[in-house]
Chain A
């Protein structure tokens, strides 16, 4: 182990589209999935991450390096997370929430979930269906009835920005 020899260990992570990334073990083990692999002795070669693509993995590694450089100060970590997520669009956030779930990184998972909710808050029902790829299983009559029942919640909805 690197900790015993005094030199930091570097892990090599492989995305599902075969991109390779080097990352300090101390940052990578923020992921419980990676930590378990390291503890099980899989860290010798390349760690394959079958559910994460290269673009998303690059972003997650940026986060791992950034957050692990901050000392134990929850306020500072929170403001780093806010800044890190501030310019991400819905598709990127959706990829990140899946990656955070697969990598078992609860702090990133919580932050990305909250950010997605913030993006969704004032969106229309149609926008949500399109973005999440959800099929509308209401009949036109049922849909009209359920909309009528909850009419007041349709006040203040933003105009769709994805058309």
Chain B
């Protein structure tokens, strides 16, 4: 883009590379609005290189949001005698869109570069950019089945060797178990047999065991005394050695025992103020502030699934 833009106030020109540099600092909502400034701005903001640069900045500045599915704990909003799953909904900690007002069962499979993969009713799969509010319905794939129940394990990630987003699905409905990979580029599923691909698929599936928290790798461990510890990996030292620091111990958590056998606590989100959101099992998100060592608040809804997503312009198409 060789053309220069003339500024009104002073007779200086702001070169376009500087404009791009400034724009990478903006949140997604402002950028989408500024597509209306001119055709040139629209083409800059829509370009692949800009989207990549903006994503890098978003990660660097920790522009991350929490997404969770929940059902209402207010009894007035629930039918008597049990869960009314029609009250289940997806929420994010910024005001926004809702593509599934009355779904039966929502799962959040994964989150990568601003794209979140969710399933509704165990079959409909959506790839969703919550920041741009764009979503795509992923075609369903057939697996042979012998029982009435669907049992699937999903994974979602970015494959940088092919610059493609991929979904892995293993069916446990019938033996031998089958694994298929969906490619966003080809918009199709492919059955995989080769062991290298299976290993790759396995990594995609389990990458979220280690969470990227506030730009650092992190994990949550439970000690023998049932304290919950959050560890983060420090930047590589000069000797290229990774070191882990325990940044927070939750020994005051009121019901640690119930997590002993259940799903593991998972750090889901950390911001610059030092707030850390931790999901305990699939039912509670607690936000702590690790700098002031205080518990901030507890999300007063039953959390069924949660994850974080980074603000990005990445297209789900």
**B-contacting residues of A (Cβ < 8 Å)?**
91, 94-95, 97-98, 101, 109, 113-114, 116-118, 120-122, 125, 128-138, 143, 146-147, 150, 152-154, 157
Contacts and interface: CB of A to CB of B under 8 A. Distances in A.
Interface of B: 5-10, 12, 14-15, 18-19, 21-27, 29-30, 32-42, 133
B26 A117 contact: yes
Contacts of B32: 150, 153
Given A98-B12, A131-B8, A138 B30 contact: no
A147 B33 CA distance: 8
Contacts of B42: 146
18 contacts: A94-B10, A94-B12, A101-B15, A101-B18, A113-B22, A117-B23, A120-B22, A121-B30, A122-B30, A125-B33, A129-B38, A133-B7, A135-B38, A137-B39, A150-B33, A153-B29, A153-B33, A154-B33
B94 to A, nearest CB: 11
A150 B26 contact: no
Given A131-B9, A134-B5, 18 more contacts: A91-B10, A94-B9, A94-B14, A97-B22, A98-B14, A117-B22, A117-B25, A120-B26, A121-B26, A128-B37, A129-B37, A129-B38, A133-B5, A133-B6, A134-B41, A146-B42, A153-B29, A157-B33
Contacts of A130: 8
A125 B34 contact: yes
A154 B40 CA distance: 20
A132 B7 CA distance: 5
A95 B26 contact: no
Contacts of B6: 133
Given A97-B22, A117-B25, A146-B42, A133 B33 contact: no
A99 B18 CA distance: 11
B15 A131 contact: no
A113 B25 contact: yes
A152 B133 contact: yes
A94 B7 contact: yes
A120 B19 CA distance: 12
Contacts of A95: 10, 12
A44 to B, nearest CB: 30
A156 B41 CA distance: 21
Contacts of A121: 26-27, 30
Contacts of A134: 5, 37-38, 40-41
Nearest 4 pairs of A and B residues by beta carbon = A117-B25, A153-B33, A133-B8, A133-B7
Contacts of B14: 94, 97-98, 132
